[in-house]
Amino acid sequence: MRLPLLCLLLAMAAPVCAAGPAFLPWMNGTIASEPQMQVQRIDADTFVIRQSVHTNFEAPFLYLLFGTDRALLLDTGAGGLAIRPTVDALIAGWLASHRRSAIPLTVAHFHSHGDHHQGDSELAGRPDTTVVGLKPEDVASAFGITRWPDDIATFDLGGRPLSIIPTPGHEPAHIMVYDPRTRLLLSGDMLYAGRLYVPTDQFATFIASADRLVAFAQSHPIAAVLGTHIEMTTTPGKDYGFEAATHPDEHPLALPADAITRLAAAAHRVAGAPVISNEGDFILYPRPPRP
């Protein structure tokens, strides 16, 4: 991404309201000349990065959050492009606006599937940068989670304490991140506008995570849920084909907070014999375990 385009996108902050951030339209593959990455700003310390579907059909979303002591990057993309120039440009812009010369960066992942960590090698040798490992024990150690997956840890960026919520099921090391400043729940691949894949041999683990998430939401105000993909259209219940090359009429990134209780209810409803359950703005999608 060229810096002028990056600056143009950053000029448009997305205010957080009761329905979540009011993003501008995300690039969706329908324009051949779209950039490899698109950035939108939620506030001066919170950035959402999307990878173009032209570089990888997953078109994932990455999140970069700043506090006074450190920054946190969640995920490094699905490959097919270089992400470090965009990340470095965002950090340089934040440092300039705060008249600072450096800030430590922690790179973590919502989980270990390949479309979430392909840019790790670009950042592994970056100064003042820690890249968290991909196994549950790596994640637990990095965030101080004593009892995985039952404990919820606090990871303070400096005046910005984030809740790190273990949510295995989709994948053993899966986490969600709650930000009380924006009241946003960053939900990874467990809950987003798309197909929520759950290996059938992990369905009980997934349900337990969904129940813990419901309990968390009962005591924490959540304005919206932001995941890492969009696979639904604006037509309720209609998703894109597998590995779709374009996403016309794409569902918004944000899901309402009640999606949390609806996800848990759907999982419990099909627990006895897991089957696909289309919930309108997401699809619970049990599948055979991977070899």
Question: Domain segments of the chain: what residues?
Answer: 3-287
pLDDT computed for residue 291 by the predictor: 74
How does pLDDT run across 43-56, given as a tens digit for each residue? 999 999 999 999 99
What topology does CATH give the domain 3-287? Metallo-beta-lactamase; Chain A (3.60.15)
Q: pLDDT under 50 in the chain at which residues?
A: 1-12, 17-18
pTM: 0.94
Please report the pLDDT score of residue 6 as a whole number.
43
Contact 21, 222 (CB under 8 A): no
Residue 273: predicted pLDDT: 93
Determine the residue type at 31: I
What is the spatial distance between Cα 25 and Cα 226, in angstroms, rounded to a whole number? 15
Residues 37 and 106: their CA atoms lie apart, in Å, by 20
How would you label 97-128 residue by residue, b for 16+ Cβ within 10 Å and e otherwise? eeeeeebebbbbbbbbbebbbbbbebbeeeee
